[in-house]
Structure 1
C-alpha cells in the first residue's frame, strides 16, 4: 500500500450543513480507500469509531457490484453508511443499496411543512447483519433488533422488543425524531446525526424500557 500512501488523496472526511459526516470519494480504488480510512482510524479511533457517514460519489461510472463492495468495506471498518450524495446518473446506485439521497440541492430549497407519511411496519425480528430503512417516515419494529442489525428512519423509530443493534432516527436531519424500545441494549443510538455508542450509555438505562430524544444537540435517554 506504499503507492496509496504517496498518491493523490483518494477521499475526504468533511463536515457539511447536514448533521452527518460526509465521506467524499476522489477515487474508485477500493484498496486505496481502505488504506486511507485505516490510517485515519488509527489516528482518531474514538472520533471515527461507529461514525454514521453520507457517501459522496465521484462523477465517474460506477457499477452496482463496486457499490456493494464499498458498503461492505465501510461496514468492516466500523463506519455506518446512512445515505448517498451523487449525481442523478448514480441515483440507481442509491436505489440498489436502499440508501436515501442527501444532495446539496435539497438543502437550498425553502423549508416546507411536514406531510404525514405512513409508518413502515416490520412484523418480525431484525436479525444480525440486516438493515431496515424508511427514508420517508417512522419505522415500527415488532420484535428484537439483533446485534449487528441496523434500523434507520427519517422519522421516529419504535421497537416493541429489545434493541441490541443500531437505531438511527431523523436521518434526514429531523431533530424532533425519537427512539423508543422495550429494552435498551444497543450498540448505537443516533438522532439527526448526534449519536452515542454502547460504552457511553448510562448503566441505569441498560435493559430498561427507554425513550430517546434530542435536546440541545445531545441525546437524552429516559427510562419509562
Structure 2
C-alpha cells in the first residue's frame, strides 16, 4: 500500500511569548529591537507568540503587526485576546487566535517583556558567576563573557551568554551560548533536562535531545556546523 501524501501528528515546540503592555507600535518596536540586539543569534528571525491580554480594540493592529515584523520576528499566533473588536482585526490579518489550556501555560516560555534581567558584566569581565537558583521567568545575559551557574535553573528561566555556559545544578530552562555568533562556544550541564539548548543559533528543543543524555551530565558543541552532544564524564 502506498504511503499517504500527508500525515497529521501532534507535537510541542518551545516558543518565546511576547506580552504586549503598550498600545503604541513604535514603543513596542524599540523594546523588541533592544531584545533582538542583545541575542541576535537566537532571536533574529525567531517565531513568537504575541499575548495581547492587556490590549484592547483601540490599538492600530496593522501598524503593530508591521512594527513587530520589522524587528525580524515572525508572528505565528496570538494568545490572550479578550476584546471582540481586536479579535476581528487579528482575524482580518490572517493570524490564528490560540487558546491557552492549563498545561499550555505551564509550558510557555518566559515572556520577553517581563523577565528579570541580571545586569550584564563589564567588557573586562571574562566570566559571570551566578551562585543562586535561577527562577522561572528570570533571564540572565552574560555579555562578552562565559556564564557559570552553580545552582539549578528552573523551567521557564533563560540563560544567554556570548561565551560558554556551565550549569552545575539541574538545567530545566533554556541555555543559549554563543549568542553573538561565536560557533566555538559550548554548553556544559551536570544534569541536562533543558527546554531548549542553542549554540550560535543552532538549537534543539527538549524533544530533540537524545534520550540517552536526558538528565545526564552532558557537553554540547558544534561540529561541522551541527549541534552535537557528548557525555561530560
Q: 2:220 & 2:160 partners in 1: Cα distance?
A: 14
Out of 177, 187, 194, the residue aligned to residue 186 of structure 1 is: 194
Out of 176, 180, 183, the residue aligned to residue 168 of structure 1 is: 176
Q: 1:219 & 1:80 partners in 2: Cα distance?
A: 26
Q: CA deviation at 1:22?
A: 3.0
- Per the alignment, do residues 204 and 183 of structure 1 end up closer, same or farther by CA in structure 2, a change over 3 Å counting? same
- Per the alignment, do residues 80 and 217 of structure 1 end up closer, same or farther by CA in structure 2, a change over 3 Å counting? farther
Q: 1:30 & 1:145 partners in 2: Cα distance?
A: 38
What residue number does 1:22 align with? 44
Out of 214, 217, 220, the residue aligned to residue 206 of structure 1 is: 214
- Per the alignment, do residues 142 and 99 of structure 1 end up closer, same or farther by CA in structure 2, a change over 3 Å counting? closer
1 or 2, which has the higher helix percentage?
Answer: 1
Q: 1:30 & 1:215 partners in 2: Cα distance?
A: 46
What residue number does 1:41 align with? 76
Structure number, greater radius of gyration: 2
Out of 134, 139, 144, the residue aligned to residue 142 of structure 2 is: 134
Q: 2:65 & 2:110 partners in 1: Cα distance?
A: 12
2:164/2:187 contact within 8 Å kept: yes
Runs of 4 or more off by more than 4 Å in structure 1? 18-21, 29-40, 76-81, 96-100
Q: 2:156 & 2:65 partners in 1: Cα distance?
A: 21
1:219 equivalent to 2:217? Answer no
- Per the alignment, do residues 30 and 156 of structure 1 end up closer, same or farther by CA in structure 2, a change over 3 Å counting? farther
Q: Which secondary structure state, in structure 1, belongs to the residue aligned with residue 207 of structure 2?
A: helix
Alignment RMSD: 3.7
Q: Which runs of 5+ in 2 are unaligned?
A: 1-28, 30-39, 47-58, 78-106
TM-score (norm 2): 0.52
Q: Which runs of 5+ in 1 are unaligned?
A: 1-10, 12-17, 43-75, 82-95, 101-114
Out of 115, 123, 128, the residue aligned to residue 131 of structure 2 is: 123
Q: 2:206 & 2:60 partners in 1: Cα distance?
A: 30
Q: 2:168 & 2:224 partners in 1: Cα distance?
A: 27
| Alignment: residue pair count | 144
Higher relative contact order (CA 8 A, sep 6+): 2
